[in-house]
Structure 1
Amino acid sequence: MEETEIIRLIGVLREEHRNLDEAILLAPAGDQMQVARLKKRKLKLKDEIAALEDQLIPDIIA
């Protein structure tokens, strides 16, 4: 994947991550299962973003 494509994808994932924040805040108080699913998705997105950011950092062999 090219660097520009990775940067674009990171932006998309960050936007989804922010949207999940809002969805968690607006979720009905009694729907703990939905909140748990949203938080799990949010954590998965965070991991995906970190993995993509790692691809942007060149490997340095010392």
Structure 2
Amino acid sequence: MDTLTPAEISARLAVLRQEHRALDEQILHMAANGDDELDAKRLKRRKLQLKDCIAKLEDMLIPDEPA
């Protein structure tokens, strides 16, 4: 993953952020309709994984500062 160009990282971030927003909407919809709680937990877990991945990619875009 360290060999990605900044443009590739930015593109990947856009995709992950879109999926994160879609999951958020789906979770809210499930909660409003009283859908299966286990499915909602799975979606929330996936949303957290996406958040972690987004954070890692964002860190890759920040250049290292010399000590």
Please report the TM-score for the alignment, with normalisation by the length of structure 2.
0.87
Aligned length: 62
Deviation of residue 29 (structure 1)? 1.4
State the alpha-carbon separation in 2 of the partners of residues 42 and 58 from structure 1.
26
CA RMSD of aligned residues (A): 1.0
Correspondence for 1:59 among 38, 57, 64: 64
The AA in structure 1 aligned to 2:15 is: V
Counting aligned pairs with the same residue, the percent is 53
Which structure 2 segments of 5+ residues have no match? none
2:7 corresponds to which letter in structure 1? T
